[in-house]
């Protein structure tokens, strides 16, 4: 079997979609002959999009065995929707979340429903699939294939004690502190500023919130974007993945009341993240509901669980498919500050019991999620789709012959 993967979300860029794209392409080599058309950050992205049909046609002409073309997100699917030169091949798209709920009237009314022209649509979670159906996607064309996670994370062993790690690496005396970790780009749906402002003041004891991830609170681009009208600003922020919560986060970090309990660590190496997951008291994913945005899956929750963290996450979007409440983490209502504060305070008072209850988090996550499992699910789907596509072509050829020569009827 031969498959062509088309993606503009791929390393060296980093993120959940990039990781999924990389693992899918890499893993598929063991099942099929793989061809790729990938934007790697070099040259104009606009030119990459504009030249897609020509390049796909040339690759397919050079490799006539290709039977499936896979587009790895809704933006690519939208750009390639009207391509006709390879319409005889099975065309598959994967939708991740934001590319379904993106709040643009033209996109929602005309482009998204037109995705029904594709042969198959894969959603990364049940929540993403539900959002697709609500917006006119044909349920018979939808399949759900969860993202995976790297199982080797479970093998990580810290070379530090908790006290030594925080003291030597960050200059933090962690002896009496409850250390909570937030991770990621500060977009509004992540709920960073919401948690610090609404939940942190109600937590008991000496609590320190560490925030890790890219953070550029001062930039000319940010100033220009904030000057735009509300709806336009929101659309641009979502389209670009702009850190829409960074301004509010900066304000809180500069507030002397909050600054004593919050520290931003910036972008970190992955080994540092593993150490933080291992030694922090809890890893928090306090997503809030934001109109026109959603968390498609929740890969970081799985990475944290495999690294030994106690995960508290909002029951929002696809996070509900990554975390099983009471098994590999704890799910809390999104945006409910009272419940979040109460649950964390209760956890602080009986931390060993909660950790014991979640003692099978690693094994459960390994059993339920893996990149190999995801890749095989895609391969099986492609095989089935290719078979159906081949039968359809054979049927169309017979119909065409019958029309030309009625004597054959």
pLDDT at 387: 63
Which DSSP string corresponds to 9-55? S-TTS-SHHHHHHHHHHHHHTTTSEEEEEE--S-S-HHHHHHTHHHH
Task: Provide CB contacts within 8 A for 84, sequence distance 6+.
Answer: none
- Say which residue, 236 or 263, is predicted with more confidence: 263
Query: What whole-number distance in Å separates Cα of residue 409 and Cα of residue 67?
Result: 30
pLDDT in tens, 196-205: 999 999 999 9
pLDDT of residue 104: 86
- The answer, yes or no, to whether residue 318 has pLDDT greater than 90, is yes
pLDDT, mean of residues 191-212: 97
pLDDT at 215 (0 to 100): 77
Q: In this structure, what DSSP letter does residue 213 have?
A: S
Where residue 317 falls among pLDDT bands split at 50, 70, 90?
very high
Q: What is the pLDDT confidence band of residue 238, given thresholds at 50, 70 and 90?
A: low
Residue 58, pLDDT above cutoff 60: yes
Separation of alpha carbons 256 and 272, rounded Å: 27
Per-residue pLDDT, 223: 53
Contact criterion met (CB below 8 Å) for 273 and 74: no
Please, which residues have CB within 8 angstroms of residue 343's CB and are 6 or more apart in sequence? 312, 330, 332
Please write the tens of the pLDDT for every residue from 175-189. Answer: 889 999 999 989 999
Residues for the chain: how many in total?
409
Q: What is the mean pLDDT of residues 1-19?
A: 88
C-alpha distances in Å from residue 207, one per residue of 236, 246, 259, 341: 35, 22, 12, 12
Sheet containing strand 178-183, strands side by side: 262-266, 207-212, 178-183, 282-285, 311-314, 330-332
Q: Percent helix, strand and coil across the chain, each rounded to 5?
A: 50, 15, 35
Dist CA 161 CA 167 (whole Å) = 10
Question: Which of helix, strand or coil describes residue 123?
Answer: strand
Average pLDDT, the chain: 89
Residues β-bridged to residue 93: 71, 121
Examine the pLDDT at 217 and tell me if it is beyond 80. Answer: no
Query: What is the structure's pLDDT at 41?
Result: 85
What is the predicted pLDDT for the residue at 14? 74
% of the chain residues with pLDDT over 70: 88
- Domain spans, the chain: 2-148+370-404, 151-368
Banded model confidence at residue 328, pLDDT cuts 50, 70, 90: very high
Q: How many CB atoms lie within 10 A of CB 396?
A: 11
| Within this chain, domains 2-148+370-404 and 151-368 share the same CATH topology | yes
Between 246 and 112, the more confident residue is 112
pLDDT digits (tens, 9 = 90+) for 259-300: 999 999 999 999 999 999 999 999 999 999 988 889 999 999
pLDDT, mean of residues 27-39:
96
d(CA 255, CA 262) in angstroms, rounded, equals 10
Distance (Å, whole) CA 61 – CA 205: 66
Q: Give the start-end residues of each E strand in 258-387.
A: 262-266, 282-285, 311-314, 330-332
Question: Torsion angle, CA of 382/386/388/393, rounded to 10 degrees?
Answer: 160
Stretch 66-89: mean pLDDT: 94
- pLDDT of amino acid 98: 87
For the full predicted model, state whether its pTM sits above 0.75: yes
**The CATH homologous superfamily of the domain defined by 2-148+370-404:** Glycogen Phosphorylase B; (3.40.50.2000)
Q: Model confidence over 99-153: pLDDT tens digits?
A: 999 888 899 999 999 999 999 999 999 999 999 999 999 999 999 999 999 999 9
User: Rg of the chain's alpha carbons, rounded to an integer?
Assistant: 24
pLDDT in tens, 354-409: 999 999 999 999 999 999 999 999 999 999 987 655 555 445 544 444 444 443 33
Give the model's pLDDT for residue 11: 83
Using CA atoms, how far apart are residues 9 and 174, in angstroms rounded to an integer? 38
Give me the architecture of the 151-368 domain, per CATH: 3-Layer(aba) Sandwich (3.40)
CA distance linking residue 305 with residue 294, whole number of Å: 21
Mean pLDDT (whole number) for 34-53: 93
């Amino acid at each position: 079997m031969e498959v062509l993967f088309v993606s503009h979300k791929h390393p060296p860029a980093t993120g959940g979609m990039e990781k999924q794209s990389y693992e899918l392409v890499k893993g598929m080599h063991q099942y099929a002959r793989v061809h790729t058309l990938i934007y790697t950050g070099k040259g104009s992205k606009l030119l990459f999009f504009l030249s897609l049909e020509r390049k796909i046609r040339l690759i397919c002409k050079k490799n006539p065995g290709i039977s499936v073309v896979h587009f790895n997100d809704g933006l690519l699917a939208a750009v390639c929707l009207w391509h006709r030169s390879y319409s005889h091949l099975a065309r598959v798209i994967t939708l991740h979340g934001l590319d379904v709920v993106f709040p643009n009237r033209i996109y929602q009314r005309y482009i998204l429903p037109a995705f029904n022209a594709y042969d198959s649509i894969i959603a990364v979670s049940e929540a993403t699939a539900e959002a697709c159906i609500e917006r006119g996607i044909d349920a018979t064309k939808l399949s759900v294939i969860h993202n995976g996670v790297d199982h080797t994370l479970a093998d990580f062993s810290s070379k530090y004690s908790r006290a030594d790690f925080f003291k030597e690496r960050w200059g933090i005396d962690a002896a009496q502190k409850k250390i909570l970790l937030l991770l990621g780009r500060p977009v509004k749906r992540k709920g960073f500023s919401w948690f610090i402002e609404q939940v942190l003041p109600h937590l008991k004891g000496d609590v320190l919130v560490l925030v890790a991830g890219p953070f550029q609170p001062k930039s000319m681009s940010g100033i220009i974007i904030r000057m735009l009208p509300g709806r336009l600003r929101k659309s641009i922020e979502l389209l670009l993945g702009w850190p829409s919560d960074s301004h509010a986060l900066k304000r809180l970090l500069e507030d002397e009341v909050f600054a004593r309990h919050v520290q931003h660590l910036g972008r970190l190496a992955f080994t540092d993240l593993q150490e933080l997951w291992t030694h922090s008291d809890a890893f928090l994913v306090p997503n809030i509901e934001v109109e026109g945005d959603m968390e498609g899956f929740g890969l970081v929750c799985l990475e944290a669980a495999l690294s030994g963290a106690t995960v508290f996450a909002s029951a929002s979007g696809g996070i509900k498919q990554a975390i099983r409440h009471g098994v590999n983490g704890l799910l809390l209502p999104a945006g409910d500050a009272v419940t979040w504060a109460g649950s964390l305070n209760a956890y602080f008072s009986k931390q060993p019991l909660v950790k014991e209850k979640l003692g099978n988090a690693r094994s459960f996550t390994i059993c339920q999620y893996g990149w190999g499992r995801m890749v095989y699910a895609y391969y099986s789907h492609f095989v089935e789709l290719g078979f159906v596509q081949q039968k359809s072509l054979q049927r169309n050829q017979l119909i065409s012959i019958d029309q030309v020569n009625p004597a054959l009827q």
